[in-house]
Structure 1
Amino acid sequence: MTMGVDKNASDRKGKSVEPSKHRRGQQKRVMAVQNLYDTCREVFANCGPDIVPSPENVERVKAILDKMSAMDVGLRPTMPYFKPTMPYFKPTGNDGPPEITYMRIHECDKFSIGIFCLPPKGVIPLHNHPGMTVFSKILFGKMHVQSYDWADVGPSDKPLNAGNPDGVRLAKVKVNSEFSAPCETNLLYPNECNMHCFRALTACAFLDVLVPPYNDLEGRHCQYYSDYPFANFSDEGAAGPEVAEDQKESYVWLKEREMPDDLKFVGALYNGPKLVK
């Protein structure tokens, strides 16, 4: 009898200290965000504009992001940020794109961590990241991604307007694909794939890590571009380079533009796991 009582007490004790599945899942989510922050703080401590983290440090951050999902940051596809029919997300025009929500998790002079929430048909137009290394991880949903490098042929190694009265500059397409979560983290470097745009094919969210973040005072401001097919500026007499016929679809002309009038970002409070700083 005594042994039976002792056994039951032991069982009860064991059950009392074993965390529930819900608690374990909550702890995992907190650890994911905290691990990302702690790793970024460590590996980006000596980074700055145009200073690319070492391949080992890039891989450390990428490995964490690759495993993250919407649950790790407290997001659910049913949240109002992802519903373009809600009054708060009323399009700016009859056919205009819906508003995009940004949640800041952390920002300092070395790096920033934030989340973009896009309703279906949400668009972040083609823009650049001057002097930055960028990690973009789709947390859920499906989007179309395009990214470009400045081409190293023809007039593209000169100032934007050099030799071309139209003010365009040649760029090469690096990525033009659809991505669905779960998928690997997308990387942009100061001199590689530095310009990109996103189009939400479904409601989706992605987490961005910028190293270093935008800073207008230091000259790191976001520049937007319009893109044009290669054939538009490659006629005889224009400043276009010689490009093989079967390669022309791999090139576009980019021209600086102001921030699109119909592009609307809305800030929202991040309510996911809190960071210990």
Structure 2
Amino acid sequence: MSVHFAKIVQQAKITFDQCNVIQFAANFSSLQRLMDEMKLDDVQVSPEVVSRRSFDVPDKAPCTFIHIYECPVFSMSVFILAENYTMPLHDHPLMHGILKCLSGSVRVQSYSSVTGEAPSGATPTIPVQMSQPKQLNSNSPAAILTPIENNFHEITALAGTGPGAFFDILSPPYDSPLPAFGKRKCSFYRKNRGLTGDLILERISTPLHYYCDNVHYDPPPFLRDD
């Protein structure tokens, strides 16, 4: 059992508990600092799963998904992207998130709504501002997104370092209730230019190239007992 991972889970429960909303900013910063120090060993994912060899099999999906944990207020997952593959541009409706690279190197290109309004998934086109891209490896601090800032992103596993694996925490989880809109769904986008030349994102169907294989995760006792 990883003591550090147990601390992350406990801090996430504190951070996203609605009873602690007044202290949210301080708690979120504490969770981010714990995530900054997270390593692959902490979450107890086999190094074999993140190896080049794991993708060198017939009919392998370009992405491997590992469900770690989910409760009503947050979810935890690991994604492993094949080298040179880009997870398509998508959103996180009214969600906070923290992403930590665990293996390989990934490039995160994020976008923020220029209206200052949190995307709900209901608007087909959204004017955005492009953020500076971040290149992350296992020694990099975690990246964050909020309902307004960096809420849209695409993630590329960079060549030369093997598959890119990252752990993320999202709150609330996908498929949780989104007031007035139903379930909180992930939408995908393409970049375009509006009539005035401004950058906009247009909502599209899930790209055909994006699909995942699932790997079973045997959770540590402190997650099994929850």
TM-score bracket for this pair, using the shorter chain length: 0.7 to 0.9
**How many angstroms apart in 1 are the aligned matches of 2:66 and 2:126?**
33
Are 1:207 and 2:178 an aligned pair?
no
**How many angstroms apart in 2 are the aligned matches of 1:196 and 1:216?**
20
1:1-277 paired onto structure 2 within 5 Å: 30-46=2-18, 54-79=24-49, 82=52, 83-89=54-60, 98-152=61-115, 160=123, 168-201=125-158, 202-215=162-175, 218-228=182-192, 230=193, 233=194, 238=195, 240=196, 252-271=199-218, 273-276=220-223, 277=226
**How many angstroms apart in 1 are the aligned matches of 2:211 and 2:19?**
31
Count of residue pairs brought into register by the alignment: 212
Query: Which sections of structure 2, spanning at least 5 residues, go unmatched?
Result: 117-121
**How many angstroms apart in 1 are the aligned matches of 2:104 and 2:206?**
26
Report sequence identity in percent. 24
**Which structure features the higher share of strand residues?**
2
- The letter of the residue matching 1:185 is A
Query: Which sections of structure 1, spanning at least 5 residues, go unmatched?
Result: 1-26, 90-97, 154-158, 161-166, 242-250
Give the structure with higher Rg (CA): 1
Residues 224 and 256 in structure 1, CA contact (< 8 A), matched pair in contact too:
yes
Residues 50 and 164 in structure 2, CA contact (< 8 A), matched pair in contact too:
no
Residues 50 and 163 in structure 2, CA contact (< 8 A), matched pair in contact too:
no
**How many angstroms apart in 1 are the aligned matches of 2:59 and 2:3?**
32
State the secondary structure of the residue aligned to 1:175. coil
Residues 226 and 257 in structure 1, CA contact (< 8 A), matched pair in contact too:
yes
Q: Cα–Cα, structure 1 residues 53 and 261, in superposed 2: closer, same or farther, change >3 Å?
A: farther
Give 1:177 deviation, angstroms: 3.2
Residues 80 and 165 in structure 2, CA contact (< 8 A), matched pair in contact too:
yes
**Which structure features the higher share of helix residues?**
1
Q: Cα–Cα, structure 1 residues 105 and 256, in superposed 2: closer, same or farther, change >3 Å?
A: same
Give 1:132 deviation, angstroms: 0.4
**How many angstroms apart in 1 are the aligned matches of 2:64 and 2:82?**
9
**How many angstroms apart in 2 are the aligned matches of 1:196 and 1:65?**
19
- The letter of the residue matching 1:37 is V
Q: TM-score of the superposition, structure 1-length normalised?
A: 0.68
Give 1:272 deviation, angstroms: 5.8
State the secondary structure of the residue aligned to 1:192. coil
Give 1:79 deviation, angstroms: 2.7
RMSD: 2.7
Residues 80 and 86 in structure 1, CA contact (< 8 A), matched pair in contact too:
no
